[in-house]
Amino acid sequence: MTQKIGLIAGNGQFPFLFARAAREKQWQVYAVGYRGETDPILAQQVHIFEWLYVGQIKRIIKFFRQHGITQAVMIGGVAKVRLLTHFRPDTKAIALLARMRHTHDDAILRAFADLLEEEGIRIESSTFLLPELLAPAGVWTRRKPSRTERDDMRLGWKIAKEVGRLDIGQCVVVARGSILAVEAIEGTDAAISRGGALGKGQAVVVKVCKPTQDTRFDIPAVGLGTIHTMQQAKVKALAVEAGKTVVFDRPTMIQRANEVGITIVGFDGQEMTQAHEG
C-alpha cells in the first residue's frame, strides 16, 4: 500500500536521496521547495511539488492539508546569508518569531516543528527512510590517525560540543592543540578552508552533532565535497560523530580520501566522553 509523506526541501542532495528512497519504499512524496535554495530538478522526482519562500508557513500547512499529509520531513539546508533576500514571513511566521526568546537555528526549527504538529503534521527524523546514511564508528580509511591527530580530534570534539551547545556551529578545525577555526554562519567548507590555511598541512577537522540538537532536522553532514575542500586546504584528518552524522557518497568519499592520504574516523559520544573524563 502506497503511503504519503511531506517533504520540506532545502538545498543540497539530501532531498533527492530522500525522494528516491521514498519511491523505492512505496511512499508518495508531496514536497515544497524554497525559492533560491531548492534545486528545481527535485520537482521531477516527487509526486507533487510547490514553490514558496522561506517564512510562508501558512502555505506549507495549506499544501499539506490539501493532500492529506499528516507526517513530513525537513531536509536540506537554507543558507543564512540568503535569508536577507529570500525571507518572506507570513503572519504565522511573524507570530512564531515574536514569542521566541532566542532565534538560534535549533530554537527556530524546533518551534516550527512544534507548530506543524499543532496543525496535525508530525515531523519525522530526516533519516527514518535512510538509516544507512548515518556514519559508522571506527576508522574508515587505510591511513589511521596519528597520536597527535587523535589528541587534536579529542580536543576538537570537546570544543565543537561547546560551540554547538551555544548554537554557533557544528565544526572546528584544530592543529597541534590550537583551535584554528570555528564554524559560524559561513558554513563548514569555509571554516575548513580558513583553518587549513593556518594549519599548514597539520590540521584536523571535527564535526559533531550539537548536544541539544533535535535530530529530526539539521543533522551534521559530510561527503565527497568535504574531502575535496580538505584536500585543497591541505587538511589530512576528519573526525565525525558516529550515528549522528549523515554521510553522502560514502564509498566514493572513502576512495578519494585513500587516494589523497586523508584519514576519516567515526567516534561515538560515549568513547569521547570517557576519554575526556579519563
Residue ranges covered by each domain of the chain: 3-123, 134-277
> Is pLDDT larger for residue 231 or for residue 95?
231
User: 560514502: which residue's cell?
Assistant: 250
Rounded to whole angstroms, the Cα distance separating 7 from 18 reads 9
Domain 3-123 shares a fold with domain 134-277: no
Strand order in the sheet with 263-267: 138-139, 263-267, 237-241, 204-207, 171-175, 178-182
Listed range (65-79, 81-95, 167-181) with the worst mean pLDDT:
81-95
Are 216 and 187 within 8 A, CB to CB? no
- Work out the pLDDT band at 10, boundaries 50, 70, 90: very high
Rg (CA), the chain: 19
Domain 3-123: CATH architecture, name and number where available: 3-Layer(aba) Sandwich (3.40)
Rounded to whole angstroms, the Cα distance separating 72 from 215 reads 14
Q: Region 91-118: what's the mean pLDDT?
A: 83
Confidence (pLDDT) at 86: 74
Q: What is the pTM of this model?
A: 0.85
- Work out the pLDDT band at 272, boundaries 50, 70, 90: low
Rounded to whole angstroms, the Cα distance separating 159 from 183 reads 11
- Work out the pLDDT band at 212, boundaries 50, 70, 90: confident
250-260 vs 224-233: helix axis angle to the nearest 10? 20
**Identity at 187, one-letter amino acid code:** G
pLDDT at residue 217 above 80?
Answer: no
User: 535554495: which residue's cell?
Assistant: 37
In CATH terms, 134-277 corresponds, of 2.40.110.20, 3.40.190.10, 3.40.140.80, 3.30.465.10, to: 3.40.140.80
